[in-house]
Amino acid sequence: MKITIFGSGYVGLVTGACLADIGHNVMCVDRDEAKTEALKRGVVPIYEPGLDAKIEANVKAGRLHFTTDAKEGVEHGRVVFIAVGTPPDEDGSADISAVLAVAKTIAIYMTEPTIVVTKSTVPVGSADQVRDVMEQTLKAQGKTVPFDVASNPEFLKEGNAIEDFEKPDRIVVGVANHATAEALRGIYAPFNRRSNRMVEMDIRSAELTKYAANAMLATKISFMNELSNLADALGADIEQVRVGIGSDARIGYHFIYPGAGYGGSCFPKDVKALAAMGRKKNVPVKLVEAVEDVNERQKLVLVDKIDKHFGKKDLAGKVFALWGLAFKPATDDMREAPSRAIMEALWARGAIVRAYDPKAMEECHRIYGDRADLVLCASANEAVTGADALVVVTEWKEFQAIDAEDLKARMKTPVIFDGRNIYDPKRQAQYGLLYYGIGRAA
């Protein structure tokens, strides 16, 4: 099938590469000419394991194309996915102006029957707005071209997006007619062979499903972070509590790992947008609002522990090694990352940060540029050498097995602030390392 995808960001590139890989003829449209030309050469602007190889292979095979020509894109695809950004507005609601702009563009150039699918995360009712914009645009041009609008939200985890796409837990499609559902079923058929993973529903329910899923996962994280702070105050170990409750099949172990808060492009934005939808409809979702509040506070829990350890908020002259900049392993994404809140708080106290991340160094430099109180190091060992403390923010695998004796020898003072509870406090104590975890007062 000929498919067009508007937007060559994270969702658009993963979707395009995976659909092309199973034989569809895919064209990705983006306004950024430099990025588009780079993609044609196989240069991928984001880090996602396996994505660069998949894009390169399908470009060479002639199944994946990149263009800035919207007209070419619309004429190419009988199914057109909209996968552009929906950034948060000032009130937290999702800004869908880019989605509606694409809808208008599709209507302007459309000459054949087309299915328009919103892949972007959009507020409930957005598909109706897409339909309205297209109908108005066609009417203004005096054209009559059949089209339909559907919702197909993505459920991709950064760092594992290709496997999520190719081996989905579910494929949610919101449709208003049977023919559109069958077209989408045909597109996804190769990923749906062993068992039926397609969940068909009405469009508004599909739009809400995406927000509900992310809000539920964010709620589990914030709940455990609240409990971790209580465990600190009560002298309990949250990691033992985690094992105790995770063994209950009704709860499970997924997303109950306490830490320094969640980040990324999805959870923070979607939680805020869901809360904004509730306020707009005069149906406050208090639990969701609390989830966001808890997460923002949690990002500074390590800084509070640092203040207490040093007995002051003036950290001028202190050097902190920071392991991990990305909001999670296997990505270079620093959007809403806890590392940013921690670094900025340390800088406000006069400290110097020596940071290392396996993939996010360029992104960190792009965000903060050159500054005297930020040293981007070539390795974890370089970052920690001469440091007054080590702050672990991202649970990259290479951080999880440390040589405690070597670490102690490199540091000015042997203290670890572990924002992901990846180390055993008793083991660190045996080597003379002072250890602070999340909810591990015991």
pLDDT computed for residue 329 by the predictor: 97
Residue 258, amino acid: P
Counts for the chain of helices (H) and strands (E), in that order: 18, 14
Q: Among candidates 298, 261, 142, 270, which has minimal Cα distance to 209?
A: 270
Q: What angle do CA 318, 326, 57 make, to 5 degrees?
A: 145
Report pLDDT digits (tens) over 172-198: 999 999 999 999 999 999 998 877 899
Listed in order, strand segments (DSSP E) in 309-368 are 319-323, 352-356
Q: Among candidates 74, 147, 149, which has minimal Cα distance to 118?
A: 149
pLDDT computed for residue 429 by the predictor: 92
Residues known to be catalytic: 266
Question: Residue 105 burial (CB < 10 Å; 0-12/13-18/19+)?
Answer: buried
Listed in order, strand segments (DSSP E) in 152-269 are 171-174, 198-201
**pLDDT tier at 224, thresholds 50, 70, 90:** very high
pLDDT computed for residue 195 by the predictor: 79
Q: Which helix (H) or strand (E) holds 148?
A: strand 147-151
For the chain, give the mean pLDDT.
96
Q: Is the pLDDT of residue 205 over 90?
A: yes
Give every CB contact of residue 158 below 8 A, 6+ residues apart in sequence.
10, 48, 264, 265, 328, 330, 331, 333
pLDDT computed for residue 442 by the predictor: 60
Q: What angle do CA 417, 422, 423 make, to 5 degrees?
A: 70
How many angstroms separate the most distant Cα atoms in the chain?
Answer: 79
Mean pLDDT, residues 91-110: 96
Tokens read off for 387: 């440091």
Give every CB contact of residue 164 below 8 A, 6+ residues apart in sequence.
155, 156, 157
Residues of the chain with pLDDT > 90: what percent? 96
Mean pLDDT, residues 262-286: 95
Mean pLDDT, residues 95-101: 97
Report pLDDT digits (tens) over 390-419: 999 999 999 998 999 999 999 999 999 999
Report pLDDT digits (tens) over 336-351: 999 999 999 999 999 9
Question: Residue 403 burial (CB < 10 Å; 0-12/13-18/19+)?
Answer: exposed
pLDDT computed for residue 192 by the predictor: 87
Residues of the chain with pLDDT > 70: what percent? 100
Whole-angstrom distance, CA of residue 21 vs CA of residue 27: 13
